[in-house]
Amino acid sequence: MSTDRRYRFLFERERFSLRNAGVVYAFLTLAALLTVATAISSQSNYLDPRNIANIFDQSSLVGLLAISMTVVLISGNFDLSVGSVAALGGAIALSLVDRYGVPVAVMAALLSGVVIGLINGLLVQVVGINAFIVTLGTLTAIRGLVLILTNARTISAQSDAFSVLENDSWTIPHVLLVAGIVLVVVAALMIVLASRRAHQLSLAPESCLLAVAGLAALAASFFADWDWSLSHPTWFLFGYMFLVWLLLRYTVLGRHLYAVGGNAEAARLSGVNVSLYKIGTFVLSGFTAAFVGILYAGKLGAINPNALSGTELTVLAGAILGGTSLFGGSGSVVKSVIGTLILFMLANGFNILNLGANYQGLIEGIVLIVAAGVYTVADRSRRGGRVHLRQAGLAPALREPHRNNALVSSKGSRE
């Protein structure tokens, strides 16, 4: 076997390793186990379209936050204030919509998230305070601000304008048509990019997969007669995930962000504005949290001072289940969303099987610890394997081809 073919084989094999694809294996295994368990117990089919739609809807808001949290984690920081910021965004939107209308209410809520994210970023990156301390402080302070704004009572609005963002749904065939067109166009652009640059190894398989998925979606939109529909937040989740994935995977912005999280000093010496990237991730997190707050307000039509309390821990759990490193430089928004779905699949399965909520926290905690342990052991084994490969002269096989031209440190990893 030639050296190039050995490189290709080792690179493709690592893609399916436990470290890289473990969360996907866990997701499929859990779905299979719950399907068998519901069948044995004569419960409703776990894979019933309505139940799947329910899981997506329940996990959509946390999934949106998990995407922005993953971006923050990749940069080497984390944000504990997302739940409080979301509650503040929802409270501001409901407080202003009746008097000033939807545009002003939405802009004010989103602006509040951006400002809080900017404050977090400046305190962490410019002042130099630890991110845990800063975001823990803003979590508490903003929750107090929500109490002041709501006067410690549940508030609502006469206008139901926000309910459109949450309660309506889009039917599958129409969305599949749009998604199919988008996937085919993106795949075509990736193929053109691969033909012009020496990145065929990393781009070709994914572009072909996207093209096949796009064509399948187009075919399904024309021939399938489904009455199944998903809520708006679910489609926001899919769209946001796809957009951020593209930015992180195929743009200079994404390469620089992984470099900043992997080795900030090396990135700085290479000309990357480290502070701008780190502060920008906090701003994105605040913006996303405020948008989630608006969706939450639209879903319930009201918000109370304790709304979304503790959500930040679930968001972090979803990102960790997806294999995102707490030390920066490594993570995938797609796998973070899958990790979030696993958490809500567990809760949904407990409800369907009538197991009660007493054991739910215990099981979820064990799953999280086991997942972190598996990733740690797999990562340690991978580092050991890299050492042996370097000694054998095959280390380049475990680097993504585009890294040869990017200023990503050896510690950074885009999995």
Higher-confidence residue: 345 or 165?
345
What is d(CA 73, CA 80) in angstroms, rounded to the nearest whole number?
11
pLDDT per residue as tens digits for the range 94-146: 999 888 888 899 999 999 999 999 999 999 999 999 999 999 999 999 999 99
Other Cβ atoms less than 10 A from the Cβ of 87: the count is 31
Give the up-direction half-sphere exposure of residue 229: CA atoms within 13 A in the CB hemisphere: 10
pLDDT above 70: residue 273: yes
Domain 2-173+227-399: which CATH number of 3.40.50, 1.20.5, 1.10.3470, 1.20.120: 1.10.3470
Q: What is the predicted pLDDT for the residue at 228?
A: 64
Q: Which two tokens stand for residue 245?
A: 């994935």
Whole-number percent of the chain with pLDDT over 90: 32
In this predicted structure, which of 87-91, 261-265, 299-303 has the lowest mean pLDDT? 299-303
8 A C-beta contact, residue 375 and residue 323: yes
Q: What is the predicted pLDDT for the residue at 223?
A: 60
pLDDT per residue as tens digits for the range 283-318: 999 999 999 999 998 888 888 888 888 889 899 989
Q: Which amino acid is at 360?
A: Q
What is d(CA 11, CA 398) in angstroms, rounded to the nearest whole number?
5
Task: Name the pLDDT band for 410 (thresholds 50, 70, 90).
Answer: very low
Q: Is the pTM of this model over 0.75?
A: yes
Q: What is the predicted pLDDT for the residue at 403?
A: 41
Nearest to 91 by CA among 160, 136, 145, 41: 145
What is d(CA 122, CA 118) in angstroms, rounded to the nearest whole number?
6
Q: What is the predicted pLDDT for the residue at 49?
A: 77
pLDDT per residue as tens digits for the range 1-31: 454 454 444 444 566 666 676 777 788 888 8
Average pLDDT over residues 150-170: 73
Q: Which two tokens stand for residue 157?
A: 């609005």
8 A C-beta contact, residue 82 and residue 310: no
Work out the mean pLDDT of the chain and round it to a whole number. 79
Identify the top-confidence range among 169-183, 241-255, 274-288, 389-403: 274-288
Q: What is the predicted pLDDT for the residue at 406?
A: 41
What is d(CA 410, CA 415) in angstroms, rounded to the nearest whole number?
13
Gap between the terminal Cα atoms of the chain = 27
Identify the top-confidence range among 56-60, 119-123, 246-250, 261-265: 119-123
Contacts 24+ apart (CB under 8 A), 32-40: 34/345, 34/349, 34/352, 34/353, 37/349, 37/353, 38/349, 38/352, 38/353
What's the CA dihedral at 256, 258, 259, 262 to 10 degrees? 160
What is d(CA 192, CA 202) in angstroms, rounded to the nearest whole number?
13
* Helix 274-300 and helix 82-100, axial crossing angle in degrees, nearest 10: 60
Average pLDDT over residues 383-391: 51
Strand 155-156 relative to strand 169-171: parallel, antiparallel, unpaired? unpaired
* Helix 172-196 and helix 200-223, axial crossing angle in degrees, nearest 10: 160
Average pLDDT over residues 76-82: 92
